[in-house]
Amino acid sequence: MNYEEIAEIIIGLKNADLEFRDKLIQGGLLSEDYNEKMASLHCRNAKILDKIIDNIGYPTVEKVGKEASEAAWLVIQHSIGQPYFMKKSAELLKVAVNENKADLKSFAYLSDRIAVFEGKPQLYGTQFDWDENGEMSPNQYDDIAKVNQRRKSIGLNTLEEQSQIMIERVKNENQHPPKDFKKRKREYNKWRKSVGWIK
């Protein structure tokens, strides 16, 4: 299989993911619990991409082109039920960034996501969720001044600006805060434990 064919497969994975997400948005179901069908789609995509990565390494732009490389990153970001795969991909992405073959922003988003699932503070403030006041807010981070410094260094806007964007986005996607925040938190922690993010 050549790189062109591999690129088509990766783009197909991303399209399937986004089409299903759109369906959930249309039905006003995106902010409900992690949809079972979406979870199995994410899992299937991760397994396919994992095999590709075992064969060709990280799907960089020079290997598969810009569209497929960005699609691969999205599939990895959404492989939240596969901690091993997500962390393995982050390590490979870090190497690609150090070799100037991948974008540091992509690594920032991925490493933040892993930190959040592991219950650690994120460095770039890229990950958001509903807080106990029913507002869309950044997940735990260390220090706002440091976060904004890091964001600026990789060409991102401030955390305050991004917070406004995220608030608008959830409105546009018809997302709503959980009815029972504590219950959602308990279920989230149970899920994290069940897939191996925490012990």
Identify the CA nearest to 161 among candidates 139, 138, 183.
138
Residue type, 191: W
Distance, in Å, from the CA atom of 8 to the CA atom of 101, rounded to the nearest integer, reads: 20
The answer to whether residues 69 and 156 belong to one domain is no
| Per-residue pLDDT tens over the stretch 117-163 | 999 999 999 999 999 999 999 999 999 999 999 999 999 999 999 99
Q: Which of 42, 75, 101 is the last residue of a domain?
A: 101
The answer to whether residues 90 and 134 belong to one domain is no
| Per-residue pLDDT tens over the stretch 180-189 | 999 999 999 9
Residue 79: C-alpha distances to residues 5, 42, 85, 133, 171 (Å): 22, 5, 8, 28, 25
**What is the total count of domains within the chain?**
2
Identify the CA nearest to 122 among candidates 132, 133, 134, 113.
113
Residue numbers of the domain that contains 134: 103-199
The beta-carbon contacts of 93-100 under 8 Å, at least 24 apart in sequence, are: 93/58, 95/58, 96/58, 96/60
Distance, in Å, from the CA atom of 110 to the CA atom of 154, rounded to the nearest integer, reads: 14
| Per-residue pLDDT tens over the stretch 19-59 | 999 998 888 777 667 888 999 999 999 999 999 999 999 99
